[in-house]
Amino acid sequence: MYDGPAVTQAERRRAWIDSLFVDHAIFRLAWSNVAEVVPGRLWRGNHPTPGRLRRLKRELGLRTVINLRGHRRCGSDALSREEARRLGLVHIDMAFESRGAPHRERILRLHDIWRSVETPAFMHCKSGADRAGLAAGLVHLFDGGTSTQALAELTWRRGHFSRSPTGILDAFFHLYATRAEGRLPFLDWVRDEYDEQALRASFHAGGLATFLNDHVLGRE
């Protein structure tokens, strides 16, 4: 577990070792699932290497990084945080869970961030599948989109498995669709009616998908 900066050559070397072999960034060197969420304003993806951040800055004019993992004690966090600083990017920690019912306060905080963020922005979790999908779906709903658009951000093509524990994120959007969509604006529902404890109690994941997600892929 790496818990330090990544400024000096020795620090960066240790951070890279941790990032590649402990945080599984060795797979992210070749695999990227960067995708546009809001045209010209917001993209999503897996945890970027410093080189990928530089490309996003160059190709998109990137101004902000939203870290959906929160501040982590790992080399990947240290490297991307330092590279964002070096590139002059705004870096925002906005942690979500991938296996829990979304917290009301965190949904509202992401809404506040989205209203004021400097764009173009890029938001990432570890694999760019679950928390990135949740956040992208929330942004669609913040902007007046539908639950169908939100659910389309949670897809196996980006590594999300709805029958695993991370399927509770799909269940959250389905809950809004069945209980309030067309009757209440999304944020009003979140503030006044959404019951995260009831969602958590009602959701049950499949065994095989859980094994694949948690033990084979080693998801966070």
Is residue 217's pLDDT more than 60? no
Give the separation between CA 48 and CA 40, rounded to whole angstroms. Answer: 19
pLDDT confidence of residue 1 = 80
Lowest mean pLDDT among 72-81, 116-125, 208-217: 208-217
The predicted-structure confidence for 123-156, as pLDDT tens digits, reads as follows: 999 999 999 999 999 999 999 999 999 999 999 8
- Angle, helices 131-142 vs 104-116, to 10°: value is 70
The predicted-structure confidence for 45-85, as pLDDT tens digits, reads as follows: 999 999 999 999 999 999 999 999 999 999 999 999 999 99
Is residue 106's pLDDT more than 90? yes
- Domains of the chain are 9-216 (3.90.190.10)
Query: What burial letters (b/e) apply to 83-108, b meaning 16+ CB within 10 Å?
Result: bbeebebebbebebbbbbbbeeebbe
Which residues share a beta bridge with 121? 42, 64
Question: Which residue from 116, 96, 98 is spatially nearest to 107, judged by alpha carbons?
Answer: 96
Give the separation between CA 11 and CA 119, rounded to whole angstroms. Answer: 31
Give the separation between CA 113 and CA 123, rounded to whole angstroms. Answer: 12
The rounded percent of the chain whose pLDDT value lies above 70 is 94
Please give the mean pLDDT across all residues of the chain.
93
The rounded percent of the chain whose pLDDT value lies above 90 is 88
Give the separation between CA 196 and CA 60, rounded to whole angstroms. Answer: 36
CA atoms within 13 A on the CB side of 68: 30
Tokens 């979500």 — which residue? 96
